[in-house]
Amino acid sequence: MLWPLWNRAVESRRQDAIIDDPWAVALVKRIDYDYARSFGKPTAFHPIRARFGDDRIRAFAERHGDGAIVVALGEGLDTQRLRVADPRLRWFSVDVPAAVTLREHMIEGVENERLIADSALSEAWMDQVPNDRPVFITALGLLMYFQPEQVRQLLRQISARFPMAELCFDTITPLISRKTQRGLRVTRHYTAPPMPWGISVDHVEAFLTTVGWSPLSVQTYADPFPDRMRLYKWLSHVGPVRRALAGGLVHAQSRENVEV
């Protein structure tokens, strides 16, 4: 959770920043950690992912207004609710107990939020979130850490429990997934955790329909801000390279969703 936090903070200080996140900047200052030593050169991936989620949540809030719900699965130290800053939204945050304790300690709560210290894979959080109104669920930087069958089951359960849901998540490819399971070194001082779930962007739409979701958009990381990802954009045009390497940004609605 420190890697994306750091990248959001660095991004936020750029002249041409794609997110404005002074809260991430403050958190990075408060957490005494050698970010550059572990993570190397800053990257635009995490800011692009954050902005992708922010934009979709803002559009969701415009469509549904007062009382619409956002559920952030695996929220870590993301300060998305402060960036979006829409008082009409109710926020639920679901993360493992250690992460929730850290979040409580580091980030001042906002009105209309509830932190749930539980696994996203547990159905317990679903019992606490109303399902009689529109719900937007984010799972940014999360699903790749689960086993493929866990991802399928979780997406099926959410779709069945929340008929008026939208969902956004990101993906890595099977090749990158395999590399992380063999120990993918980001730098000499940081090895990425194993990420067992990988899927090619070209296969996401078909996958979604098998687990109760209709795709609204499936993009590569290069699509929203091509100028920030020139090489990636260029490579993403080459089919086999895209399928092997390109991470995806996915927005979907539950199959029963007649509201959106």
Ligand X SMILES: C[S@@+](CC[C@H](N)C(=O)[O-])C[C@H]1O[C@@H](n2cnc3c(N)ncnc32)[C@H](O)[C@@H]1O
Closest approach, Cβ 141 to ligand X, in A, equals 3
- Pure H helices in 13-78: 22-30, 35-39, 45-64
Closest approach, Cβ 66 to ligand X, in A, equals 26
> How many residues contact ligand X, by CB under 6 A?
19
Instruction: Using the minimum distance from each CB to ligand X, give the nearer residue, 124 or 175.
Output: 124
Instruction: Using the minimum distance from each CB to ligand X, give the nearer residue, 52 or 232.
Output: 52
Distance CA 43, CA 96 (A): 26
Q: What are phi and psi of 111, to 5 degrees?
A: -60, 155
Instruction: Using the minimum distance from each CB to ligand X, give the nearer residue, 58 or 255.
Output: 58
Closest approach, Cβ 144 to ligand X, in A, equals 9
Site for ligand X in 108-147 (CB under 6 A): 119-121, 140-142, 145
Exactly one of 4, 163, 198, 247 binds ligand X (CB under 6 A); that residue is 4
Closest approach, Cβ 248 to ligand X, in A, equals 15
Taking alpha carbons only, the member of 101, 88, 100, 157 closest to residue 126 is 157
Closest approach, Cβ 34 to ligand X, in A, equals 18
Under 8 Å between Cβ of 248 and 177: no
Site for ligand X in 53-112 (CB under 6 A): 73-76, 78, 94-96, 99
Distance CA 20, CA 33 (A): 22
Q: Judged by CB under 6 A, does residue 19 bind ligand X?
A: no
**Residues with Cβ within 8 Å of residue 172, at least 6 apart in sequence:** 144, 180, 195, 197, 198, 247
Residue 166 Ramachandran class (φ > 0 left, ψ -120 to 50 alpha, else beta): beta
Summarize as ranges the residues that interact with ligand X (CB under 6 A): 1, 4-5, 73-76, 78, 94-96, 99, 119-121, 140-142, 145
